[in-house]
Amino acid sequence: MPELRKDPITHRWVIISTDRAKRPTDFSKARVEILGNGVCPFCYGNEAKTPPEIIAYGGNGRPANTPGWQVRVVPNKFPALGIEGSLDRQGFGLFDKMNGIGAHEVIIETPDHLSTLATVPDQQVEQVLWAYRDRMNDLKNDKRFRYILVFKNHGQAAGASLEHTHSQLIALAIIPKQVSEELENARHYFEEKERCIFCDIVRQEREDGQRVIAENEHCVALAPYAPRFPFETWVLPKQHGSAFENEPASVVSSVAGMLRNMLRRLDQVLDHPPYNFVLHTSPVGEEQNEHYHWHIEMMPTLTKVAGFEWGTGFYINPTPPEESAQFLREAEV
């Protein structure tokens, strides 16, 4: 019989449709194949095809915007928001508006066009995470910004416009509604129980074990109790941390290893699916708190959001998280 499960953090309901239960091989595949055809602006030698780099790691002593880098951050050539100007907030009766101020950057994760975050060494993934951290800490100095979102679209079906592996960062002048709801619910839980809800989830899931996929010294990967999507996976630090950019090097290294580990498992179990991941962290100015716990949410693109989801806010997931965790746990990586 299908189950209705309530996410304890967002209070969002999910239908686990066991009557439609699907194994990894049952999903129609939008397999990501990296062909390397045509001229890629993210490859060595094409640095002039992107806006001038903001930062780059590797190639000590290299002139800016030349080959030799290992990770490179550039402004998005087609930004969703503009960096110049003032917010100019205005109200018109019921309606509010402001200028589209923000930063939109691209993190080019490797110079190798045919590589992915699942295939590069752990140290390369760690450099990518350091790029996230360095850019977040720099952009926090801009008093216009209240939230910094880091996300990755992998594969055309997941929204990637270029096949060369990359992720993106957008600094926003407002805190997104989804983030606000997650923060508020976590705060209410802490006020009632004087404990972080994420810490409780990590503790309970590690004791239970059904939905834990893997863990290392500093972090754990698990299938959430009420996942919106088949094979949705979260990576969380074991010890409480409210802001990713404040974590020490040891934790960043562990997260890099776990992130690559999970991507390799997804590739093996689901045959190189398109996916998205999003870094959930505390807003600017609220980095030190006891109620929120930063984490990464990973969602393979296996199903489509349709009328029922848009009409109700519910999600229908045909694969119970206990089964997806087992499949991923048993993958050989």
Residue 328: name the closest of 280, 261, 250 by CA. Answer: 261
Q: Interior CA angle at 286 toward 281 and 288, to 5°?
A: 85
**Chain centre to alpha carbon of residue 241:** 16
Name the helix (H) or strand (E) containing 220.
strand 219-222
> Parallel, antiparallel, or unpaired for β 275-280 and 295-300?
antiparallel
Number of CB atoms found within 10 A of residue 37's CB: 8
Q: Sign (positive/negative) of CA torsion 255, 256, 257, 258?
A: positive
d(CA 268, CA 260): 12
**Residue 188 falls in the annotated catalytic set:** no
**CA–CA dist 249, 6 (Å, integer):** 35
Pairing of strands 13-16, 315-317: parallel
Residues 6+ apart with CB under 8 A from 46: 39, 40
220 Cβ partners below 8 Å, 6+ apart?
Answer: 202, 205, 206, 212, 214, 235, 236, 238, 258
Q: Measuring CA to CA, which residue among 45, 34, 103, 36 is closest to residue 75?
A: 103
Catalytic residue among 166, 291, 293, 295: 166
Residues recognised as catalytic = 166
